[in-house]
Amino acid sequence: MSQSHRIAGGQIDRGVALRFSFDGKSYTGHPGDTLASALLANGVRLMGRSFKYHRPRGPISAGSEEPNALVELRSGARQEPNTRATVAELFDGLEARSQNRWPSLAFDALAINDRLNSFFTAGFYYKTFMWPAAFWEKVYEPIIRRAAGLGSLSRLEDPDEYDKGFLHCDLLVIGAGPAGLMAALTAGRAGARVILADEDFRMGGRLNAETGEVGGRPGADWAADVVAELAGLPNVRLMARTTVAGAFDHGIFGAVERVSDHLPAPLPGKPRQTLWRIYARRSLLAGGATERPIAFENNDRPGVMLAGALRAYANRWGVAAGDRVVVFTNNEDGLRTATDLQAKGVSVVAVVDSRRGGPLLPGLRHLQGAEVVDSAGRLGLSSVTVRMADGRTEVIPCTALGVSGGWNPNVNIHSHHRSRPVWAEGIAAFAPGADGPAGLAVAGAAAGRLSTHGALLGGQAEALAALGDLGIPATAGDLPKAEDAPVSITPKWYVQGGKGRAWIDQQNDVTVKDVKLAHQENFTSVEHLKRYTTLGMATDQGKTGNVIGLAVMAELTGKPIPETGTTIYRPPYTPVAMGALAGRSRGKEFKPFRLTPSHKWAAEQGAVFVEVGMWLRTQWLPRAGETTWRQSVDREVLATRKSVGICDVTTLGKIDIQGTDAGTFLDRVYANTFSTLAVGKCRYGLMLREDGMVFDDGTTARLAPEEYVMTTTTANAVTVFRHLEFCRQCLWPDLDVQLISTTEAWAQFSVAGPNARRLLEKVVDQDISDAAFPYMGAGNITVCGGLRGRLFRISFSGELAYEIAVPTRYGDALIRKLVEAGEEFGAVVYGTEALGVMRVEKGHVAGNELNGQSSALNMGLGKMVSKKKDSIGMPLSQREGMVAEGGYRLVGVKPVNPADALSAGSHFLPEGAAPVLANDGGWLTSMVWSPHLGHCIALGYLKGGDQKIGTRMRAVNFMNKTDVAVEIVSPHFIDPEGERLRG
Amino acid sequence: MANLKPLTALGHDAPEVLSIGAVRISERFDVALASVAARRGKAGDLASAAQGIGLPLPAPATHQAGDPWSAFWVAPEMWFVEAPFASHEDIAARLKAALGDTTSVTEQTDAWVRFDIAAPDLAPLFERLSNLDLARAPVGFASRTVIEHVGTYLVKRAAGEVVLYGPRSSAASLLHVLEVTAKSLL
C-alpha cells in the first residue's frame, strides 16, 4: 500500500520519490511533503501518544501549532525529540519514531492511565503525592517522569554546529502569506532593504493551501511569481525556513534559520541552524492566523483535524486524510473545506454546521443547527455521533473529521512587549492591541482581516506607511483581485452535554472538565488556570487550545471573554534549540582564550596551564622526575628564594594615565597619595569602592611628570579601567586626564630572588645597581642592545625583585634570553602556584583577601587610607562599624603541630569553644605549603587579630572534617623587616 | 638594534595568510600603532600640530589613510594612528615629539593583532561576526565592535576590504572564529 491516500494536485514533485521510515516501517513521499503529509498520504493517522493519558493521537494541524504529532527524528547523536511532524520537511532517508509509548504505538501499556483518568485530573500530583515528603524526590518524581513526558534525549553530544549572526533592514516582514508578500513586493520595488522571513520552506502561507485566485491566477501561482520577483531584487532577502521567534528591544528580532534541518546532516562546514538578530527600522507582522477546534467528547482521535488543515493537506500536498469526511464548523470558512474536498473527489458525507439558517451547500448533506457530540474508533476515527437540530442523534461512519471553531490571529510577536490583545467581536477572536512594539505594524489575518483581499490590501498599506515613516518614496501598485468574503461565525467553544472528556489542549491532555475543576477550586484567573491545569504549556504554547480554555472559564465565571483576558505571550514563538542559542560558544570555544607572551616557550617546556579569567597562565613547569605538582612548585619556590626565578606577569592590568591632572586623578581614585610620587619611582596603591571596601590594588609608576602607568590585579584589569573611565568622564570631566589600556602592549616578567639583579645586568643596557635603580625605582630602559623597555623594582615575593617589560612581540625572545642568562645562577621559571606560595609567605593580600567585603583596616593596611585628601571610599571607610576595635584583621596562621595540614575556609574558634556561630572568630582565606618553613601556613581574617598574635586557636572545617590547633602569628612569614627586597 | 627575534601575535616568525574560498585573511605585522588623545582644551592645538606633520584626525566613526600616517577615530578627541613599522617602530616617541604637550600619546603597536580581510562580498562573512551594518557602512567607516566576545576595531578600507584590530593575546581565538565562519560560507 503505497501512498494510498494521495490524490491529484498539490505542490509536490511527484517525479521524485523520497524514502523514509516511521517506527521502522518504510514509506515513500515526495519533495514538498512534510513528514505528516507523507504519513497521511500513506494512510498513517496514528502518530503519537498523549502526554498524560497515552491516548492515541494524530495530527490536527498542518503547521507549527501542532500539539499532537510529535515525533523523534533521526538517530544517534542527531536524535531530536518532540519534533512536529507537520513542519518536518521530508528528505530521503528520514528516520522518524513515535514517542511516549511502550512497547509500541499501537499497543501502549501506559494507556492504562486513560482508564484511570478519574484519578489523574488537574492538580492530581499536588494533591496526591504529599506524604511522606521524603518520597517525592526519590520515589514519586522519578515514577511520574517515567510515566509522563514525551520524547527522549540521546544524551550524546550534538555533532552539529550552530551559528549566530546579525542582519539589518529597512523593513522586516514576518510571514510570507498574501499580506507579507504584498508588503515585501511594495517595499522591495521601492528599493527599500527588505527581509521577508517565513517559518515554512515554501513561501505563500495560506495561498498554498487554498484554491482561491489572486489576480486571476491560482493563489499559489501568484505567490510563486511574487517570490520569484522578490528573489531577483538585490535589496530583498528571502528567508524561508526561518522563524521569527521574538520581538526584543529597539526593533531587534530574534530569528532561527533552519539551514540544514531538511537534510540528513549539514553539509561540511555548514551550521545546522543560525540564530539571527535582525535590526529592523520598521517591521510588519503578517503571521496569519491559527484555526481553533470546537471541543466535544472524544474529539482527539486520529482523524479528527482542523478543517483548514484537512483542506491544506488536500490542496497543497495532494492528500486526502480520510476517504469519508465529515466537516464540523461554526463559521463560513469551514464550509470551504467541504467544497474543496468535494471538488477533489473526496467523499464528504456530511457538513455539520452549528449555525442555523442561511443557504445550504449544494450537493452536500449540510446539517444546520447540528453538532458533533462524540466520536468512535480505537486507534483512529471510525464514526462521529451527530446531534441534529431537532435533538435526535445519528452515528455517521467517517475516517476524517474537519473541525473549525474560527481563526485566531497570531498576535504573539505583537504581544512580546506585553501588549494585551483586544477582543474582536466580528471574528470572535483576540486581535492585536494598540501598544505593540515600537515600529511594528500588523497586517492580514494576524491583524484580524481574514479575507485574501484584506490581507493584500493591509500588506500594501502597512508597507507604504512604514516606507513613508522612513522617507523612502513608494507607490501603491495595482492590487491583485482576490476573494473578500466577510467573516460569518457564531461562536461555539465546546459542545454541551456528554459524560466523556472533551479535549481543549491536546498536548497537555487538558479537558473542559479540568477547566471546570480549576474554576471549582477558585483558580479562575487565566494565569492560575494555566498553572493549575497546564493549559497552554509545552511546545505548542496552546496555540489551538488557549482561547477555548479561557472562553470556557469566562462562561463559568460569568465574565465576558475580553475581561477574562489572555495569559502573557513570551518569546520564543515556537521552540528554539539550545544549540541555536549557544551558537559557537560551546566546549573549548565557549569563550576566547588569551595567551601570554611566554605561552609558546612554556608549552615547549611542558608547562601546566591554568585558566585565569580568559588567560591561560603557566601554573607550574614540571621537570623530569617530578611526579606531583607539589614537587614542581616547591622546587620553583626554593630556587627563587635561593637564587632567582622568572615569572610571566603580563596578565596584570596596565593602564596608561596621562595629562596635567593625572596626579590629582590618582589621588582621588587611590586611597593613598600619588601626586607626590617622584618621577622614576613607583608605589603600592590601594583603591577603594565608594562604600569603603577595597576594590583593587597594584603598583603605579610615574614615568614622566604627566605620565603614570598603573598596574591592576589580573582579575580586575577591565573593571578598574571601566571604573577609571567612569571617574574621568562622569565624576571629574574638568580634569585633564587621558586613559588607555596597555595590558597587551607589553610583555612583562618578574625576576625575583637574591640574584635577580645579577641576571638582569646581563640583559639591561643601563646601570641597575642599588644606587642607580633603588627599591621602588621605575623607568624606561633599553634591553639587549637597544630595544626599548621598562623596568620596575617591585616585589610580590619578598625577594629582591624587578619587573621588566618589552614590546609584546619580543616577549618570547626575552624569556628565552632571561632563561639563558639565568643558567649560571640556576634560575627557574615559576608559575602561578609558586607565585601564590611566595605571596602568602610574604603576607601579601590577593584575590582571596580582596573579596569585596574587606576594608583596608581588615587587611592591615588602614594607615594607607590618607585622611589628608578626599578619595573614593575614604569617607565611608571611616564609618564607626568599619573602624571599630575588634574587627577582622589579617593574621598569619601556622599549625601548632607542623605535621598538621590546614585548609582554606576553616573557621577560627577559641580553644574549647563549641562550634557555633557565636564563637566564630573569622576564617582562613589562603593556605599554602611553605617549602621554606616546612609546614603549612595560612592567612586569615580574625576578629581582633592584631591583639591575638601569639595566641592559640582552632581552625575548624566542617567540610573537610578537620579541627586543627593553630597559632596566630604575623602575616609576614618571610623577612618581616623587608631587608631582602631592599638588598 | 637588539638581537631579540620578534614573533607575530599568532606566535610565528612570519604573518599568517589564509585563503578560504573567496575570503583572504592576512595577518599584518608591519604596522605600528599609537593612540593620540588631545589634552583637555587642546584639540585645536593638536589639529594644528597634526596638520603640520600630515597626520589626519578623521571625524567620528571614520578612518583616513595617508602617508606615512593614517588614523581612525576611537573616542571623542582620540585616535589610533597607523604608520609603517619598519620606519616607525618608535611611533609613540615620534608622535610625542611632533605633537608635544597638546597630546597624550601611548604606544599600541603590540596591544593588537591586525587582520586584513578581503573578499568580493564581505557581507555574508561579517553578518555572522558583527552587529555592524557593514553593507551600509561607507568606505572609510571605522567602529568598535564585538566579535565572539572579543572587542575589536573594524575599518572598512574598501568595498571588499576590512581591517580588523583585535587584542593581541586573543589573536588565535579571533582567527579561529574568522576561519570557521569563512568555511561555513563555502
Residue A168 identity (one-letter amino acid): H
Q: Is B111 on the interface with A (CB under 8 A)?
A: yes
Whose cell is 492538580? That residue is A123
- The pLDDT of residue A420: 93
- The pLDDT of residue A136: 82
- The pLDDT of residue A459: 98
Q: Crossing angle, helix A512-520 and helix A546-557, to 10 degrees? A: 40
Q: How far apart are CA A923 and CA A941, in angstroms?
A: 6
* Percent of chain A surpassing pLDDT 70: 100
Mean pLDDT calculated for residue range B156-177: 97
Chain A (574-593) residues lying within 8 Å, Cβ to Cβ, of chain B? 584-585, 589, 591-593
Domain annotation covers residue A476: no
CATH number of residue A806's parent domain: 3.30.1360.120
Claim to verify: residue A167 and residue A150 sit in the same structural domain: no
- Best interface-test mutation with B: which of A253, A740, A749, A814 has the largest number of B CBs within 10 A? A740
Whether A123 has a pLDDT exceeding 90, the answer reads no
Q: B104 and B49 in contact (C-beta within 8 Å)?
A: no
Claim to verify: residue A804 and residue A906 sit in the same structural domain: no
Whether A207 has a pLDDT exceeding 60, the answer reads yes
Residue B4 to residue A814, Cβ atoms within 8 A? yes
Q: B121 and B51 in contact (C-beta within 8 Å)?
A: no
Q: Closest Cα of chain B to A138: distance in Å?
A: 41
Whose cell is 573578499? That residue is B119
Q: Report pLDDT digits (tens) over A70-91.
A: 999 999 999 999 999 999 999 9
Whether A149 has a pLDDT exceeding 70, the answer reads no
pTM: 0.93
Q: Pick the last residue of a domain from A367, A386, A405.
A: A405
Q: A825 and A643 in contact (C-beta within 8 Å)?
A: yes
Whether A903 has a pLDDT exceeding 90, the answer reads yes
Topology of domain B17-29+110-184, per CATH?
Answer: Gyrase A; domain 2 (3.30.1360)
Query: Which residues of B fall within a CB distance of 8 Å from A746?
Result: 110
Claim to verify: residue A204 and residue A280 sit in the same structural domain: yes
Whether A116 has a pLDDT exceeding 90, the answer reads no
Show the cell assigned to A487. 467573516
Domain annotation covers residue A827: yes
Claim to verify: residue A311 and residue A373 sit in the same structural domain: yes
Residue B107 to residue A736, Cβ atoms within 8 A? no
Q: Is B177 on the interface with A (CB under 8 A)?
A: yes
Q: Coil, helix or strand for B176?
A: helix
Q: Is A814 on the interface with B (CB under 8 A)?
A: yes
Number of helical H runs and strand E runs in chain B: 5, 11
Residues 6+ apart with CB under 8 A from A771: none
For residue B137, the chain A residue with the least C-alpha distance is: A168
Q: According to CATH, what is the number of the domain B31-109? A: 3.30.70.1520
- The pLDDT of residue A141: 83
Q: Is A785 on the interface with B (CB under 8 A)?
A: yes
Q: Is B40 on the interface with A (CB under 8 A)?
A: yes
Claim to verify: residue A5 and residue A143 sit in the same structural domain: yes
Domain annotation covers residue A577: no
Residue B4 to residue A810, Cβ atoms within 8 A? yes
Phi and psi at A194, nearest 5°, equal -120, 140
Residue B186 to residue A167, Cβ atoms within 8 A? no
Claim to verify: residue A390 and residue A452 sit in the same structural domain: no
Domain annotation covers residue A778: yes
Claim to verify: residue A11 and residue A122 sit in the same structural domain: yes
Q: Closest Cα of chain A to B127: distance in Å?
A: 5
What is the domain range of residue A775?
Answer: 594-619+745-839
Domain annotation covers residue A421: yes
Domain annotation covers residue A639: no
Mean pLDDT calculated for residue range A759-772: 97
For every residue of A631-697, DSSP letters joined together read HHHHHHHHHHHHT-EEEE-TTSEEEEEESTTHHHHHHHHBSS--TTPPTTBEEEEEEE-TTSBEEEE
Q: Is B183 on the interface with A (CB under 8 A)?
A: yes
Q: Pick the last residue of a domain from A352, A384, A405.
A: A405
Average pLDDT, chain B: 97
Whether B1 has a pLDDT exceeding 60, the answer reads no
Query: Which residues of B fall within a CB distance of 8 Å from A661?
Result: 40
- Best interface-test mutation with A: which of B80, B102, B146, B168 has the largest number of A CBs within 10 A? B168
Residues 6+ apart with CB under 8 A from A833: A619, A620, A629, A632, A633, A636
Residue B169 to residue A594, Cβ atoms within 8 A? yes
Whether A497 has a pLDDT exceeding 90, the answer reads no
- The pLDDT of residue A250: 95
Q: How far apart are CA A21 and CA A37, in angstroms?
A: 14
- The size of the A-B interface in CB pairs under 8 A is 155
Query: Which residues of B fall within a CB distance of 8 Å from A741?
Result: 111
CA neighbor of A462 nearest in space, from A432, A418, A426, A419? A432
Query: Which residues of B fall within a CB distance of 8 Å from A195?
Result: none
Chain A (679-708) residues lying within 8 Å, Cβ to Cβ, of chain B? 706-707
Band of pLDDT at residue A813, cut at 50, 70 and 90: very high
Q: A812 and A798 in contact (C-beta within 8 Å)?
A: no
Of the candidates B29, B127, B168, the beta carbon closest to that of A166 is on B127
Q: Is B145 on the interface with A (CB under 8 A)?
A: no
> How many domains does chain A contain in total?
7
Band of pLDDT at residue A542, cut at 50, 70 and 90: very high
Q: Pick the last residue of a domain from A361, A379, A405.
A: A405
Claim to verify: residue A892 and residue A945 sit in the same structural domain: yes
Of the candidates A163, A811, A813, the beta carbon closest to that of B184 is on A163
* Percent of chain A surpassing pLDDT 90: 91
Claim to verify: residue A659 and residue A779 sit in the same structural domain: no
Of the candidates A269, A706, A784, the beta carbon closest to that of B183 is on A269
Claim to verify: residue A274 and residue A393 sit in the same structural domain: no
Q: How far apart are CA B33 and CA A745, in angstroms?
A: 10
Whether B140 has a pLDDT exceeding 80, the answer reads yes
Residue A277 to residue B131, Cβ atoms within 8 A? yes
Q: How far apart are CA A961 and CA B120, in angstroms?
A: 66
Show the cell assigned to A331. 463559521
Band of pLDDT at residue B2, cut at 50, 70 and 90: low
Q: Is B45 on the interface with A (CB under 8 A)?
A: no
Q: How far apart are CA A313 and CA A5, in angstroms?
A: 10
- The pLDDT of residue A201: 98
Residue B108 to residue A167, Cβ atoms within 8 A? no
Q: How far apart are CA A241 and CA A950, in angstroms?
A: 74
- The pLDDT of residue A142: 83
Average pLDDT, chain A: 96
Chain B (46-75) residues lying within 8 Å, Cβ to Cβ, of chain A? none
Claim to verify: residue A166 and residue A264 sit in the same structural domain: yes
CA neighbor of B52 nearest in space, from B106, B95, B101? B95
Residue B172 to residue A783, Cβ atoms within 8 A? no
For residue B179, the chain A residue with the least C-alpha distance is: A269
Band of pLDDT at residue A148, cut at 50, 70 and 90: low
Q: Is A167 on the interface with B (CB under 8 A)?
A: yes
Claim to verify: residue A279 and residue A175 sit in the same structural domain: yes
Q: Report pLDDT digits (tens) over B92-116.
A: 999 999 999 999 999 999 999 999 9
Q: How far apart are CA A638 and CA A645, in angstroms?
A: 9
- The pLDDT of residue A122: 80
Whether A145 has a pLDDT exceeding 80, the answer reads no
Of the candidates A660, A743, A814, the beta carbon closest to that of B39 is on A660
